[in-house]
Every structure is written in structure tokens, then in C-alpha cells.
Amino acid sequence: MKPLTFLRLAALAALATTAAACGGGSDESGDSRTVTVYTGRHYGIEPVFDAFTASTGIEVRFTAGSDPELRERLVAEGDNTPADLVMTADAANIELAAAAGLLAPVESKKLNDAIPEELRSAKNEWFALSRRLRVVMYSTERVTEPPSTYAALGDERWSGKLCLRPSTHPYTQSLVASMILNLGADKARAIVDSWVANKPLYINSDTDILKAIAAGDCDVALANSYYLARLLAEEPATPVAISWPEQDGTGAHVNVSTAGITAAASNPDEAIELLEWLATEGQKTFSDANFEYPADPDVAPADVLVSFGEFRADLAAVRELGRLNPDAVELLSRAGYE
Amino acid sequence: MVVVAALVAIPVAVIVTSIFDPTTQMWSELWETRLPGMITDTTTLLVTVVAGTVILGTGLAWLVTAYDFPARRLIGWLLVTPLAVPGYVAGFVWLDTLSGPFGPRGARTIWLCAATMILTLYPYVYLFARASFRSQGSDARDAARTLGLGPVRTFFRVAFPLARPALAAGGALVTMEVLTDVGTVRLFNVSTVADGVLRVWFGTGSRDSAAELATTLVVTAVALVAIERGLRRGARYGTRAVTRPMQALPLGLRGRTVVLAGTSGVLALAVGVPVVRLLVWSQEARRNGATATVAGGLWHHLSGTFVIATLATLTCVALGITLALLVRRRGVAGRLISRVSSLGYAMPGPVVAVGAVITLAAFDRSEVLPNGSVLVGSLVGLVFALTVRFLAVGLHGVESGLEQTPANTVASARMLGAGPVRIAWSVEIPAARTAILAATALLMIDLMKELPITLLLRPFGFDTLSVWVWQATSESLWTQAAIPSLAMIVIGMVAVGALLTALERGAELTS
């Protein structure tokens, strides 16, 4: 290519970019209704949005990313954010967003009726849409007496046989936050120390953790309930089962998928409509899409979840996970948890 | 253009200036907990990967330039193709492959992480070393041989030392890639400083602390490059006149067998294994009907990748040309702008992304743009952030090309009455055109592979192949990541072909 042609191309590109910029912000046509979503939950979300569009005619535009990255983007964008609704896969990140003043409180009878009080923030800035349990998973081939508490994973009989998710992940952070709340920082630290002493194999994927149990690379592990449901749907013979932890105490650790309306939403009505739909009509579609327990206790969970049996869940901790998140992160660092 | 170049420096400055107001509590806490481990991991990884890429890259470059063997041209070309394999793709393929023989615990080690990185990064050194060996000509090698040195000692005593500036250039690129990688290391549980930046940022929500840690990374990178330059100061590498171009020596049967086995072994590990495993997985994905995301199929993501990579590449090249000319014309000021705006290359992608968002959001708040348009989340915003990250690649490529025009040629042109723009347009840029083309191809490869910035800043409706790969791999769905990964490798191969064509032409022009 001759340099002149090349430069002309470059200049054209710069022009095109500028044009795209000026078009970019003002593409909202007057008649079609849309809602813009930032979602940290990116599995099985699209069919749910499609169902919403089919039912209401409101189009959903969304950007997927990790919870904390999207939160940082929201912070930076401030009043100019295109996002109307934020969805996360974890209670801590949405609470941190609420604490930073990024979310608007929502008064809605529909939401208040559907979502139990402990599964929404004190000021109704966010609402849980589904529950997932972080539970003890074990090999049904090699383990006859699975651990029945989180602390029991620190027992030295699991030395070298324990699989955990790294502390970079919100699921690990929120579990430790709930232990700090329920047991105090010192006891929580002692438990995390005992896990670390067992030289866990850190795997940054719950799916791979369960496969590692099946393959014999570890005997016990912590993972979210729906990953087992998903795996069983693919491989019904997977020799992995749930041991519900803390059933004589506070109950198994609950984390939630959440959503909240941004304080700067430019389509607040559509966003509230989507939020209400997810909490009511869309509850079952939303939860079943990822084998999660619906946040509304009156909505029936998927069949495979029914087969997991009844259990006691630690609902009381959900609202506190965000507040205790920094403490949990520091505790994990000090304990040398990878 | 100059203004735009200065704009590019802002996101970097936003991050770097944080160091002037340190959060001491974060540093003492980090020092007591993860920092020592991060420093050890970063150092180990950096030393291993740089050493590995330099040895592999130079060794292979020497073989294909100094010796003649069957399919030499083809192999010389193929040895560049690992550039087309994104590090995180090689990472998950090798992690899964090695988990078989080594077990999941044995596979997640810093050494296997380093090995994966060496296999994807050595072409940077290889390209520079090969160009250098070619320009050395045969004289030095033949003299060494006449004086009785064997082939191995000739390489170490003559060819290797003469190629040192080229190796430094390749090594610097590898250093930047290793220091800023946040995709491959996390797969292997390697806890580097770049990974630590994200840990601090997203674990504590403290942007300032993360920015400070990121700054130490930038300072380290700059210092390493400066030290290397300092060590070389005063040494002269040019063989004054190359009388004969490099003549490849024929090899005996044994030599040929060794060379063919060695080169094809490297190719099998760097490209063969990933491509074969991805092909198998993509067949499986096809059987399961997982050949598209809900956003769209292959075409949708392919066009997204193409549009974003092209726009960002052209922007980086255009700015690179402007800046490089500025550096030549206005010494200090130009050099300062050019150096600061290159720093983005020493920062992890997510850090650049957030630096860019802060800058763009401040701009949006000032409401300069008409009818409520905003830059955050627009195509311009994304291209801007990508330019901040990769401008250095374009800039340095162009700079090396401009050196083709000697200062006295410019002086003569000026005496003949040509203005600076005219000189640039009709003398300097035409002389640099192959270097500019090479930089363009290199940028296409880098930008097509880019993930964290695109993921965070892409406009609605824009999905790239790398985003597709991320969506699948963040849930460990390797089979679903296979089709977009293969598509990226194919595009990368085309760009590698363009790169090599440009380099070949450049070599012909100078010889």
C-alpha cells in the first residue's frame, strides 16, 4: 500500500470514529422502549431477557462483565451512565454499589410482596432475585462421612484432599464475610487458617472443582449448589453430592443474584418494570435458567433442586455481606489463602 | 493530532500521579501479606519467560538464517505464527492438556505457566533476531569459522553478541507482555503484581491503592528498559560494511534431521497442540449446537473484532506517525509526550480501561459534546482506551522506520525549500512505509487478542471473538470457547502473513 493511500485510510478511520461517537449517544428513537442493563451474571441470562421482551415489548440492551469491574465503571460514569439496571451474581458487590450511592431506592408493592425482607437491602436499593447456596461437596465414592460444617473442612483428614476457589472470587469472600458475622473475626480466621493448613488445591471455577472431585483430585470442596445441578443435567452419574453445612446452627451460606435501579437511570420506568417482572412473572424462568432457588419462597424450585432435599439456609447474613466484604478480603490475605 | 496525542497521556497520568499521595495503610498491609509473594512470582516468571524466549527465539532465528535445510522458508514463516495464538487461549488449552499427566495440582505451577508464555511470546524475539542476523551478513560468521570456531561457539561468541540490540528490543516486548498479563497467570494460580492490582482494586474497591500498585509496575518496566539501554551504552554493534549478505550453509543429513525435528517440535507445541485440541472441541460444540452466543453467531463476533481492531490499529498508526515526526522535529517536548503516552503499554489492560473511563467520564461531565452524547460506552471511547494501551507499538514501529531517513537528507530537502509537512509526506513517510506496515500488522494481532479493555468498554451491540471466549472460559466451558478461539488464530495468521511480507520487503529495500 502506498503511504498516501494508507494515511488517507487512517484519516477516514478517524472521521468514521468521530461520526460513530456523535451518533452513539443519541440513538434512542422516540417510540421503542428500551432498558439498559449491566450484568455481572452472564449465564442463561439472554433467554430470560427475550421472554421479558416478548411479554412487555421493552427491549433489553446489556453489557456483561465481572461484578467489580462493572461497579468501577458505574462509579466512573456517575450521572452519565447508560445503565438503568445493574445485576450482580453476588450480594457484596451490589451492596458496595448501593453504599457508594449508585443505586436508587425503589418503592414497589409488587417487589415488597415477592421478595422477603432479608433478601433486599434495608433501603430497598437492591433486591435478590434468586438464592444459591455455597455448600460442602464430596465424592460419593471415597467419602462416607462428609463434613457437616465449614469448620470441619479444616480437619486434617482432608489434608491434600480439599478443593477451594481462590480468594479473588466474590463467592469465597462472601462466605468468609458470613463466618465473620456469625462466629466473630477470630474464629473465622482460625477456620480459614485450618483450611490453608490442609494445602487446598485452588481452582478458579466451581465446575472444574466438581470435576476434580469426580476425577479423584480432591475428596471434599466448597462450591455453589447450581453447579452440581448443571453437571448432573449433563452427566447424571457424576459421583458428587451435597452435604448441607451448619444445619444445627446458622444454616448453609446463602448468596444471591441481585438487581437494582441506578440512581442516574434514564429509563427508570422500564427498569422498574424489568425488575418487577424478574421478581414475579419471570421468577421461575430466571431461577430455572441456572438451577437456582427462587428468591420468592412461594415459587417452586426446579425438580433437580427438589431432589437435593430440604435444608436450613442462613438468610440473615445476606444483607451484611457487603459491609463485611473488606474485612473478609483482609482476613483471607492475612491467612495466606490464595 | 498533537492534542489527541496529549489526550492519550491523560489516563496514564491519572493512574501514575496516584503515587504522589500514597495510601500507607494499604502498603503496610500488602507488605505483611501478599506483596512478597507477588514480587517473587513476578520476578520468577519474568526471568524464566524472558530467558526462555531469548534462547528459543534467537536459536530458531539463527537456524533459519545461517543454515539451509528443506522447507526453510516455510518453517521460517511458520515459526512466527504462535503470535496468532492468544496467551489466554494457549493457557486454557495447555492447562486442560497438562491436567491429564500432571494432575490439576501439578499443572497449576509457575513453571508450566512460564512454558506456555514462552511458546506464545518467543516470536517477538525471533522476529528481531532474524532481522538482525540477516543484516549482519556472513562476514563475521565466516571469519569465526575460519579461525576454527565450531557452529555452537560461533553462535555464542559472534552472532549472539552482535544481535544484542535486537534481542533487547524483542526482550522488552516480552517483558511488557509478562508484566501486564492478567489472563494466563490467573489460570495457573500464579500471583503476580499485575494480578495483585486487580485483587486490590476489586477486592477492596480502592482505586487509589490499585493505581499505586499499578504505578510500581510501570516504573519497573521503564527501569528495566532503561537499565538495559544503559548497559549497552558505548558499545558499537554495526559491522561497518556488509560485503556479503547472509549465505545459508548447507547442512548434512544429521544436521538437517536435528533442525527439522527441533523446529517442528516447537511448532507442534506452540500451534499444533492448541489448534488440534480446539478443532476437536469445536466439533463437540457443533454437535451440542453451541456455535453462537445469543448476541449472534461467528459473523457477528468476527465483524465486531474486525471493526474494533481496524479502527484502533489505524488510530495507533496515525498517532504513532504524528508523534514520531514530532519527536524528530521538537526534541524534548515531543519526546516527553511520546514517552508518557507509551506508558500505557506497561499497564495491565483493566487498569488502562478504568483510567480511560475516568478520563472520558470527566469529559462527558463537562458536556462539550452536542445533544447529550457521551464517550463512555461509545466506539470512540473504546478506540481511545485501546490507543492508550497500544500506542507504543505503533509509535516504536514508526520510529524505527523513520531512522531510515538520515538527518542530512531532511536538511537537504529543507534547503531546497520544502516545509516540514512536505518533507514528512514525500520523504520520511515513504521511506518508513515497510516499518509502518509491519507495525500495522503487529497492532492488528495485539488488538484482535485484546480482552479486558474491550470487555469493559465495548458499546452495546458490539461483541468480539475475545469476548465470546471470555464468556465461555469464565465458566470453564472450553468446548464453547473453541470456535471463536480458532477464528482468532486464523485472523492472526493472516496478519502474521502481512507482517512477514512487509518485513521481507523491508529487508529487500535495505539490502
How many residues are listed for chain B in this entry? 511
Does position A251 have pLDDT exceeding 90, yes or no?
Answer: yes
Nearest chain A residue to B313, by CA: A10
Give me the residue from A46, A50, A203 closest to B104, CB to CB: A203
Stretch 59-88 of chain A: residues touching chain B, C-beta under 8 Å = 61-66, 68-73, 75-82
Q: Do A25 and B373 touch (CB under 8 A)?
A: yes
Is B1-9+288-511's fold the same as B34-205+255-285's? yes
CA distance B425 to B418: 10
Tell me which residue has cell 478520563.
Answer: B359
pLDDT in tens, A114-142: 999 999 999 999 999 999 999 999 999 99
Q: Which residues of A41-59 are buried (b: 16+ CB within 10 A; e: fewer)?
A: bbebbbebbebbbeebebe
Nearest-CA distance from A118 to chain B in Å? 24
Instruction: Inform me whether the C-beta atom of residue B459 falls under 8 Å from chain A C-beta atoms.
Output: yes
CA distance B445 to B458: 18
Q: Do B358 and A76 touch (CB under 8 A)?
A: yes
What 3-state DSSP class applies to B330? coil
Angle, in degrees to the nearest 10, between helices A206-215 and A225-234:
60
Give me the residue from B357, B378, B437 closest to A1, CB to CB: B437
pLDDT (mean) for A95-99: 90
**What pLDDT does residue A26 have?**
39
Mean pLDDT in chain A?
A: 88
Confidence at A305, pLDDT banded by 50, 70, 90: very high
CA distance B277 to B118: 19
CA distance B96 to B90: 10
Tell me which residue has cell 509526550.
Answer: B337
Give me the residue from B186, B361, B372 closest to A77, CB to CB: B361
Stretch 369-408 of chain B: residues touching chain A, C-beta under 8 Å = 369-381, 383
Instruction: Inform me whether the C-beta atom of residue A165 falls under 8 Å from chain B C-beta atoms.
Output: no
**What pLDDT does residue A212 have?**
92
pLDDT (mean) for A47-51: 91
Give me the residue from A50, A168, A208 closest to B476, CB to CB: A208
> Alpha helices of B147-272 — where are they, by DSSP H?
151-154, 160-162, 164-180, 184-187, 193-204, 207-232, 253-267
ipTM of the predicted assembly exceeds 0.85: no
Domains and CATH numbers, chain A: 34-131+255-301 (3.40.190.10), 132-253+310-334 (3.40.190.10)
B450 close to B431: Cβ distance less than 8 angstroms = no
In sequence order, what are the residues at sequence separation of 6 or more whose Cβ sits closer than 8 angstroms to the Cβ of residue A264?
A: A77, A78, A79, A80, A81
User: Which chain B residues are within 8 Å of A85, Cβ to Cβ?
Assistant: none
CA proximity to A221, closest of A172, A162, A169: A162
**What pLDDT does residue A1 have?**
43
Architecture field, domain B1-9+288-511 = Orthogonal Bundle (1.10)
Give me the residue from A2, A17, A326 closest to B379, CB to CB: A17
Give me the residue from A61, A201, A326 closest to B105, CB to CB: A201
Better-predicted residue by pLDDT, A178 or B374: A178
Identity (one letter) of the amino acid at B463? D
pTM of the model: 0.85
Give percent of chain A above pLDDT 70.
91
Stretch 176-205 of chain A: residues touching chain B, C-beta under 8 Å = 201-205
**What pLDDT does residue B236 have?**
60
State the count of interchain CB pairs (< 8 A) between A and B: 176
CA distance B267 to B261: 10
User: Which chain A residues are within 8 Å of B1, Cβ to Cβ?
Assistant: none
Provide the CA B481 distance to its chain's centre, in angstroms.
22
**What pLDDT does residue A27 have?**
42
**Domain locations in chain B?**
1-9+288-511, 34-205+255-285
Beta A201-202 vs A127-139: how paired, if at all? unpaired
**What pLDDT does residue A209 have?**
93
CA proximity to B197, closest of B18, B446, B405, B445: B18
User: Which chain A residues are within 8 Å of B186, Cβ to Cβ?
Assistant: 168, 204
Going residue by residue through chain B, which has 511 residues, state the pLDDT in tens, using 9 for 90 and above.
667 767 888 888 888 777 777 777 778 888 888 889 999 999 999 999 999 999 999 999 989 988 888 888 899 999 999 999 999 999 999 998 998 888 888 889 999 999 999 999 999 999 888 888 887 777 777 888 788 887 778 888 877 887 887 788 888 889 999 999 988 998 898 999 988 888 887 777 777 788 888 888 888 888 887 887 777 766 666 555 556 667 778 888 888 899 999 999 999 999 999 999 999 999 988 887 777 776 678 888 999 999 999 999 999 999 988 888 887 776 777 777 777 778 888 888 888 887 888 888 888 777 777 666 678 778 999 999 999 999 988 888 888 777 767 777 777 887 887 777 787 777 777 777 778 888 898 899 999 999 888 887 888 778 899 988 988 887 778 888 999 999 999 999 998 888 888 877 776 665 4
Instruction: Inform me whether the C-beta atom of residue B20 falls under 8 Å from chain A C-beta atoms.
Output: no
Better-predicted residue by pLDDT, A58 or B151: A58
**What pLDDT does residue A327 have?**
92
Fold of B34-205+255-285: MetI-like fold (1.10.3720)
Does position A85 have pLDDT exceeding 90, yes or no?
Answer: yes
Phi and psi at residue B106, to the nearest 5°: -65, -25
Question: How far from B432 is each of B81, B404, B493, CA to CA, in Å?
Answer: 24, 7, 24
